[in-house]
Structure 1
Amino acid sequence: MSATATVPATRAAARPSGAARVTFGRLLRSEWIKLWSLRSTWWVLPITVVAQAGIAWLIAYFGTQEFGEGGIDYTITAADIVGGLQFAQLAICVLAVLAITGEYSTGMIRSTLSTSPTRTPALLAKGLVVVAVAFATGVVATLVSWAVTYPVLGEAHRVDLGLEMNQRILLGAPLYLAAIALLAYAIGALLRHSAGALATVLGLLLVVESVFALIPWTFFEKISPYLPMSAGSQLVFTDNPDAVLGPWEGYGVLVAWGVVLLAAAAVLLRRRDA
């Protein structure tokens, strides 16, 4: 009789009546707060906007000066407006990597995973927040880039928003940054070390892709278009009939890179100690 009375009491102590159940929505809110509590977030995001908008202004200013002096007939496209995207992505990579590796370096990851015993929801919640912030930053950076180049281009070189290609490029810029953030976050979750993850991400995007593009071997020529940046960049390039992948096909390849690596990180997270 006493044993049966003890079990309910123990369960009641283990799960207090007023305790809040951990849901995916609560995990998202927690990860949102943690991301904005990092100092790196507050300097990386402005750098992203300034880098993209600054390069866009330089392209617009010096481009129009050169075309005006040389009498060259050249049409400015939305690709010129988002010309600083390749620099902006580097800052986004830093944010995405530090969002996950920073918790491993401080040991906070143990507290994070303790709230989600299955671990995968915590990983996905943090990744979703990082991707959402990267997308929102890309929207702001694209709008600022448009604003700073608008008075410089003037009526003669102003981008025609009626063209489907220009619409796709302007929409694709924040989508591209979001996919790059997913890729960097997944690599950070796999390696769990800030320096190693950053070196891997930047090496993959800048070094490996450049080397593959330069080596005149058939194997590298076949593989090169399917590397992350080469594939995803098609979304923010002007139409190229000779490209192996179309704009949305290339973007799909970039997203697939991030999804596959994140899935691998989720499997390893359940098997490795925090």
Structure 2
Amino acid sequence: MTAPTTMQTVDADVRVTESRARFSDLLAAEWIKMWSLRSTFWAFAVSLLAVLAVSLSTAYGDSTRYPGMDAGQQEYFRTFGAVGDSFPMGSATFMALGAGAIGAITMLSEFTTGMIRTTFTAVPARRSVMVAKVVVVTAVTTAFGALAVLCSYAGVQWILSGQDAAAGLGHPGVPQLLAASVVLAPVCALIGMAMGALIRHSVLTIIATITLLFVLPSLLNGQQRLGATILHTLVLQAWQRLTYDDATGDPFPWTTTGAWTVLAVWTVVAAAVTVFSADRRDQ
């Protein structure tokens, strides 16, 4: 009499085991979700074009001015200017804005439509779902950052090489500039995701992300200790410290190690907020 009960128990266990999603399945699902949004492709494309437009126009302008510089100015440009032109502040701004928007879109695409409830019903392990989102967005935006930075560097140095003012990969400051600029994309994307996970409203999320990345730094006075201290904890200021080698004239200088630490902390905190916010509510 116990055989049917035993068989039913075994069948139930098999069904539960089969229905449990593997993490690789979650990654595949999040990859499909991300690229099923038309806005994802356009956000990447527009961001890349904006980055390259700023970088190449800056390099072209400097290359036309280079012959008119005196010997000291030319030497200074070859040492520092050619490095900065590889990925100028304007390019970093568009990179941060585009990546932040992509992170926010990836998170909000399900929350604003209510589809997140379907996702959590299919996969009750909410944190696993959010970790998969974080992994996919981090990987994709890192690849995007690498593509944008390398294209920018190659195009800029090609333009400057016409004046014999290019900075090769072994030039002091170039490797750190390239690495910091690549990292900028996933860090800003994760911040956008964290804002979306907390706010869950499209317009307010974009406003909050822009305020944190761009507006807040403009409101602070770096000539005062409190303002400088806060600035040293912000993302774009950390990137700027890493990409502009010298802190000469800065009344409150800080180290490159500190700047890398700031980027790492923002990455960890933003990822943690995204993952653990899933326990609060579905919408």
What amino acid is the match of 2:200? R
Q: Deviations over 1:185-206 (max 9, x none)?
A: 1111111111111100101111
8 Å contact from structure 2 (residues 193, 274) kept in 1? no
Which residue does the alignment assign to 1:176? 184
What amino acid is the match of 1:147? A
Summarize the Cα distance change of 1:144–1:192 in structure 2 as closer, same or farther, 3 Å threshold.
Answer: same
Instruction: State the Cα distance separating 1:98 from its structure 2 match.
Output: 0.6
Which residue does the alignment assign to 1:91? 98
Give the distance between the partners of 2:7 and 2:84, measured in 1 at CA. Answer: 66
What amino acid is the match of 1:77? A
SS in 2 for 1:210: helix
| Unpaired segments ≥5 residues, structure 1 | none
Q: How does 1:1-274 map to 2 (within 5 A)?
A: 1=1, 5-6=4-5, 9=8, 12=11, 15-16=14-15, 19=18, 21-71=20-70, 72-73=73-74, 74-75=77-78, 76-83=81-88, 84-154=91-161, 155-213=163-221, 217-240=224-247, 242=250, 244-274=253-283
8 Å contact from structure 2 (residues 197, 277) kept in 1? no
Instruction: State the Cα distance separating 1:111 from its structure 2 match.
Output: 2.2
8 Å contact from structure 1 (residues 186, 258) kept in 2? no
SS in 2 for 1:117: coil
Give the distance between the partners of 1:37 and 1:207, measured in 2 at CA. Answer: 32
8 Å contact from structure 1 (residues 48, 137) kept in 2? no
Aligned-pair Cα RMSD in Å:
2.5
8 Å contact from structure 1 (residues 100, 185) kept in 2? yes
Q: Percent identity?
A: 29
| Unpaired segments ≥5 residues, structure 2 | none
What amino acid is the match of 1:224? L
Q: Deviations over 1:29-81 (max 9, x none)?
A: 11111111110111111112211111111111001212322433222333211
8 Å contact from structure 1 (residues 94, 198) kept in 2? yes
Count residues in correspondence. 272
What amino acid is the match of 2:32? I
Q: Taking structure 1 as the reference length, what is the TM-score of the superposition?
A: 0.88
Give the distance between the partners of 2:221 and 2:119, measured in 1 at CA. Answer: 41
Higher mean C-alpha displacement, 243-252 vs 103-112: 243-252
Summarize the Cα distance change of 1:261–1:17 in structure 2 as closer, same or farther, 3 Å threshold.
Answer: closer
Instruction: State the Cα distance separating 1:13 from its structure 2 match.
Output: 5.2
Give the distance between the partners of 2:233 and 2:17, measured in 1 at CA. Answer: 52
Q: Taking structure 2 as the reference length, what is the TM-score of the superposition?
A: 0.86
8 Å contact from structure 1 (residues 57, 145) kept in 2? yes
SS in 1 for 2:112: helix
What amino acid is the match of 1:271? R
